[in-house]
Structure 1
Amino acid sequence: LLTELNITVADDDFYNQDFKEDPNNKITEANWVKHRAAWHTAKEQIAGNKLEAHGLKITRPLNSHARQTAAVVINRSLEIALERREDYKPLKKTEVEEALLTALYGPTKSLSQTAGESFGETGANACSAPGAAAAKPGMSLISDMVCVCSSTSGSNNADECLGAAGASACVYTNQNSAHTCAAQLLDGCPTAGKTKVSAAAIQATIGAFITGLKDKGGSSQAKNLILGTKNAATCDGAANPGCVKYKASGGGEMTIPWLTKLQEAADKLKTAKVQKARNMAALTEIRQLRSIAIQEYLKALKGDQPQLQKIAGDQAADPKKKEPDCNKHKSKDDCKDPCKWNESESDASKRCSLDTKKAAEQATQAAGTGEGAAGEQKTD
């Protein structure tokens, strides 16, 4: 709307230009490049009486000081609005969703039976500490769930995680057996229902996970970072099931891919919260600028108030200014509206006096219908 109002109140020299693109006369001025097409469209719509926006039928105001003032105000409003629009960044919810799905299922963002995507080729690869062969613990959250809930063949059907026997044994032999176990875990484990994902909730989850990584009372586990079995030094999803070993003993950094993605989702949610506040501030200011522009445009449509209307307005505000004119009339026949005759007045010079009510009515009518009123204004 601001762009349309901007061209509508522009001075005649600018408005009368041809805004069609001319291949033989390329204009590189920044505002021309940015707005030319919109100006061209708006001008054509104005000519065809087809420009409408926000409930307004937009037409070209006649030339006046009011239009010149509107041009300055609307032009500046447009400049500020364009600056504030740079602060507005659409929120991308998909980025958070993708990070969460990657944390849960791996790079495919969905449950996959291909080795190296959601699950490892063997339990040793998926559940053992990195550094040994192709071991990649933490490749996905679903893979780690199978590591923790797995058992030696035939010993249980993910009973410890499900609270009851599952449909089949939960053994991390390869990606296929892991997929079978994961399916029954997803189906049988209780869910939190529909809860709002927030950065704080994710950080709390990460904190709870880290707290459970080490059992200080377990002599074997004390030197290792293991989730699951309380006292173990080896995890492989088969002979040594029920745990994930994220790091061997010794120093160095612990990297867990799904945990990294979970933190990424939390960071994106924090950024989104800040950006949402910026977006709302930008939208609020742009709407205020639009309201200012509309008011100036409506003033331009009315045009300037001529001197006659000013005089009439003064008289309406102070009707006594016409009092002496009425006092000049010495007969009832000469005492006409807005004057009134009072035969009983003892002072003969004041028998014809001003009827203030009628004077105000006449002044108001003059202000609305005098020469130069909106719709009859002459161009300069």
Structure 2
Amino acid sequence: LLTKYKANKDAAETGVSAAKDELTKAVFGPDKKEFDKTRFEQNAGVKRNKICGSSDPGDAEAAKGVAEALICICTGEASIATTECDNTLTGQVQDNAPGQDTAAETAWNNIKCRCELLSGPKVLNAATIAALQETAASRIGILNSGRTAVNGRYTIGKANTNACAGAAGATQCVNYKKQLTGSKPGILWVNALHDASSELTQAEAKDAEAQAIAATINELATQARTAYTASAHDIAKPIQVAQTIATTTSKVTIEADCNKHTERNDCTTPCKWNEDANDKNKNAH
């Protein structure tokens, strides 16, 4: 039982750790532990147009994490944002200009500060993460005012087309057409939320098994203590009986020996001489 308990407990802890990794991936993208501003850098980075999907076909580099998606939605490209996400968020992150890595980092920090003021779920578990994933998926295309059937199916954020070029009030969005058509690999951060929920579901099941085994172990321990106490009492009781029998036998033996003496001079300790003339065992103790 102890081996099985440890295996389930370890599996639960491993699952929780894996879920945390998936949540980190959902926020920052694959293999990232924090916001990677270099992806917006003018010379070595992927840059905004690819990250936001500025052309209709979309791009394989389209916002891999929530942080990048929010930059596309909450900042302008050609000019500052006009409070699309929050009254305080008027940032600008350009595609091809010096210092855009720093601009993106500043924009993310401002967005994060505003997000932290919002109320979120009090408990983060498989169910709440799954609900978050479903909510994110439901936002695809909801703010797209494009009239054709093609428009609106692949964007997140305010748009009137599938090209998310970052124009204030018109194309501040992320275009996920490449991720949602063809082989349909899916949006990476939405996939990561799904995986986090799955990992936690399994972890919660393993933890429940571990708790059940722990309860069984505690019950067995209680039964063992009860059995030990009863056994100890049973072992001690025969000894007391044996001692009583031994004491009684010894007393009978001494009296029988004393009764053999018929003269006062022969009666010695532990025998005592009995002066009662009517008692045939005059020397009985």
Structure 1 length-normalised TM: 0.51
The equivalent residue for 1:222 is 150
Compare CA radii of gyration and give the structure with the larger one.
Answer: 2
Structure 2 counterparts to residues 1-380 of structure 1, below 5 A: 81-82=1-2, 84-85=4-5, 88-90=8-10, 91-92=12-13, 93-106=16-29, 107-115=31-39, 121-128=46-53, 135-154=60-79, 156-157=80-81, 159-166=83-90, 168-171=91-94, 173=96, 174-189=100-115, 190-192=117-119, 195-215=122-142, 218-220=146-148, 222-223=150-151, 224-237=153-166, 241-248=171-178, 251-302=182-233, 303=235, 305-306=237-238, 309=241
Paired residues of 2:28 and 2:34 also in contact (CA < 8 A) = yes
Q: Which 5+ residue runs of structure 1 have no aligned equivalent?
A: 1-80, 313-380
User: For 1:161, what is the secondary structure of its paired residue?
Assistant: coil
Paired residues of 1:100 and 1:261 also in contact (CA < 8 A) = yes
In structure 2, distance between residues paired with 1:260 and 1:82: 36
Q: Which amino acid aligns with 1:227?
A: I
Alignment deviations for residues 124-176 of structure 1 (CA, whole Å, 9 cap, x no partner): 2211189979741131110001111121333x34511112454x434455543
In structure 1, distance between residues paired with 2:188 and 2:224: 52
In structure 2, distance between residues paired with 1:85 and 1:183: 43
User: For 1:114, what is the secondary structure of its paired residue?
Assistant: helix
Higher relative contact order (CA 8 A, sep 6+): 2
Q: Which 5+ residue runs of structure 2 have no aligned equivalent?
A: 245-285
Q: Which amino acid aligns with 2:146?
A: G
Paired residues of 1:152 and 1:171 also in contact (CA < 8 A) = yes
In structure 2, distance between residues paired with 1:292 and 1:243: 64
Alignment deviations for residues 202-261 of structure 1 (CA, whole Å, 9 cap, x no partner): 222222222221258622463541111342121244698411111148543142111111
Q: How many residues align?
A: 228
User: For 2:135, what is the secondary structure of its paired residue?
Assistant: helix
Q: Which amino acid aligns with 1:219?
A: R
Instruction: Report the CA distance between 1:180 and its aligned residue.
Output: 2.1
In structure 1, distance between residues paired with 2:182 and 2:38: 33
Instruction: Report the CA distance between 1:85 and its aligned residue.
Output: 2.8
The equivalent residue for 1:315 is none
Q: What is the identity percentage for the equivalent residue pairs of Structure 1 and Structure 2?
A: 21
Q: Which amino acid aligns with 2:26?
A: A
Paired residues of 1:150 and 1:241 also in contact (CA < 8 A) = no
Structure 2 length-normalised TM: 0.66
In structure 2, distance between residues paired with 1:182 and 1:158: 16
